[in-house]
């Protein structure tokens, strides 16, 4: 049972890390990009490629995952977000990001292959380590560090405060002389780098698999909605809760019930507390 709990926390930490990437993008653009989970997928695939295929040390694989993630975050803004936001206030970004995510997934499948491939061990450790296995604690530790780092970034740095200003009112920030386009691009690069890092840290748990992106996109969104949009602590709570529920559902009933549990959790929370467990309710003055 302890192994089930630790496994659920590790999977939930990956969902939470994806939700945190959602938050960074959303803070400056009010867009929930469908490419978010695919960024983590790219981090895992390119990290495994650099270490296994190219024979590079793990730290170069880590850099490759972060760089590829940041680059894809930038491309997401350039190709699927920028022109849509400039020409329309409608949610057409949903279609543009979905199209980009689909193309990237298929391209990775053609290049990398459609079968899950094992991710190399980053530290020397016996496979019989049980709950102390690095594949569990790397994503858990990373999700915690991401949440702490983002809070420090938002509260203690100038750029972080600009992110918060845009989150509150992008038009007012622009009127104050803030280059909102540059800040939005920076947010997508940061979110992409964090997503690539998350995919690398969880690679041993998920394997390097081209179709992982859609699963992470969906579960990351559910974790975000459950915890509360815009709340980093909520993203952690929502991700860990979802991960534990999915793992217990698989343990007791079978893997086919995982998505049913996930969507059911989302429906219950939205019906009881639409803003999420830790989300702030927006009050609109009239």
- Residue 239's nearest CA partner among 251, 250, 228, 224 is 224
Q: How far apart are CA 143 and CA 198, in angstroms?
A: 8
Q: In terms of residue numbers, what domain contains 176? A: 2-123+131-272
Whether residue 279 is contained in a domain is answered as no
Q: How far apart are CA 40 and CA 56, in angstroms?
A: 20
- Going by pLDDT thresholds of 50, 70 and 90, the confidence category of residue 52 is very high
* pTM summary value: 0.92
pLDDT of residue 126: 75
Whether residue 181 is contained in a domain is answered as yes
170-215 pLDDT per residue, tens: 888 888 888 888 999 999 999 999 999 999 999 999 999 999 999 9
Work out the average pLDDT over 214-220: 93
Whether residue 205 is contained in a domain is answered as yes
128-171 pLDDT per residue, tens: 777 888 999 999 999 999 999 999 999 889 888 888 888 888 88
CATH of the domain at 236: 1.10.3470
Indicate the number of domains in the chain.
1
Kindly state the percentage of the chain with pLDDT values over 70.
97
The beta strand positions in 27-115, using DSSP E, are none
Q: How far apart are CA 146 and CA 152, in angstroms?
A: 10
**Averaged pLDDT of the chain:** 89
Q: How far apart are CA 99 and CA 96, in angstroms?
A: 5
Angle made by CA atoms 133, 138, 141, in degrees to the nearest 5: 125
Residue 105, both tokens: 């997934």
Q: How far apart are CA 218 and CA 96, in angstroms?
A: 17
């Amino acid at each position: 049972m302890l192994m089930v709990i630790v496994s659920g926390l590790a999977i939930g930490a990956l969902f939470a890390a994806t939700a945190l990437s959602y938050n960074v993008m959303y803070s400056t653009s009010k867009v929930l990009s469908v490419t978010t989970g695919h960024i983590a997928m790219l981090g895992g695939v390119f990290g495994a490629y650099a270490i296994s295929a190219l024979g590079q040390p793990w730290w170069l694989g880590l850099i490759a995952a972060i760089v590829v993630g940041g680059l894809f975050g930038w491309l997401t803004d350039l190709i699927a977000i920028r022109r849509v936001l400039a020409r329309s206030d409608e949610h057409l970004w949903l279609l543009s990001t979905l199209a980009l995510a689909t193309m990237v997934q298929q391209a990775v499948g053609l290049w990398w292959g459609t079968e899950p491939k094992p991710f190399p061990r980053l530290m020397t450790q016996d496979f019989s380590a049980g709950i102390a296995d690095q594949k569990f604690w790397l994503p858990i530790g990373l999700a915690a560090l991401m949440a702490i780092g983002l809070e420090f970034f938002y509260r203690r740095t100038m750029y972080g405060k600009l992110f918060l200003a845009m989150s509150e009112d992008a038009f007012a920030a622009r009127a104050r002389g803030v280059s909102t386009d540059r800040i939005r691009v920076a947010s997508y690069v940061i979110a992409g780098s964090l997503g690539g890092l998350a995919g690398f840290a969880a690679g041993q748990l998920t394997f390097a698999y081209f179709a992982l992106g859609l699963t992470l996109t969906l579960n990351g969104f559910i974790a975000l909605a459950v915890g509360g949009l815009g709340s980093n602590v909520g993203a952690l709570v929502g991700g860990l809760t979802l991960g534990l529920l999915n793992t217990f559902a698989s343990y007791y009933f079978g893997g086919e019930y995982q998505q049913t549990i996930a969507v059911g959790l989302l429906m219950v929370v939205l019906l009881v507390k639409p803003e999420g467990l830790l989300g702030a309710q927006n009050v609109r003055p009239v």
